[in-house]
Amino acid sequence: MADPALHQTQPIQEIAIDYTPEACTHCVDTNSITLTYDHRGGARWRSTTRFLYGTFSSLIQCAKGNTSGLNLNIYLSSLEGDKSQDEIDFEFLGKDKTIVQTNYYATGTGNREEIHDLGFDCSDGFHEYVIKWGPDLIEWLIDGKVVRRAERKEGEGFPNKAMFLYASVWDASYIDEGRWTGPYVGCDAPYVCLYKDIHVPVGSAVNCSCDS
């Protein structure tokens, strides 16, 4: 991560909404995005271009109330739904708003989950979440503090495909019989997750004609 260019960022200018566009709002002037989960289900937005390495960041305030069952997140993926995707994650598990899970995938293989105590309730206010990704190192930061580092190791997979920046809110209560995010309750719907001051790398966009 010695290359200073990897740390140069700019505000995100344009997004694509993959599903439920009426549950996602984007304001370019304030560099803010709102995702809502309610009777319509969730929503997912992404950058319109892929990036090969760089620094990605957002201030995030997760949804208030009983969010059991929901997964709220910000992450990188070479293409959501592709079984051979590369991916780097921050995931908020609705059953406990004082933790966050990090993970990464290489060619569709993950199982590198780690749980981190936040020291705060992620719905109480905005906090900064940053992914710094280079050819040989990934760093996850929260409010300026590195909470995890993953280095490339010989013989092991490591993300090296150009990736979109994604964020979504969805009901993950069916996974592992509700043990991962908890059972969905929904008593405080609609659930609103707020993103602002979203930044992506400068000069590392990769053009593509694919749909996600």
Which of 14, 22, 80, 87 is catalytic? The answer is 87
User: Is the Cβ–Cβ distance between 109 and 157 less than 8 Å?
Assistant: yes
SS3 content of the chain, % helix, strand, coil (to 5): 5, 50, 45
What length does the chain have?
212
How many CB atoms are closer than 10 A to CB 194? 16
CA distance 169 to 89: 13
Which of 80, 91, 151, 177 is catalytic? The answer is 91
Backbone angles phi, psi at 23, to 5 degrees: -100, 10
User: Is the Cβ–Cβ distance between 7 and 205 less than 8 Å?
Assistant: no
DSSP, collapsed to helix, strand or coil, labels residue 6 as helix
Residue 91 annotated to the active site: yes
Residue 87 annotated to the active site: yes
Backbone angles phi, psi at 185, to 5 degrees: -110, -55
Catalytically active residues are 87, 91
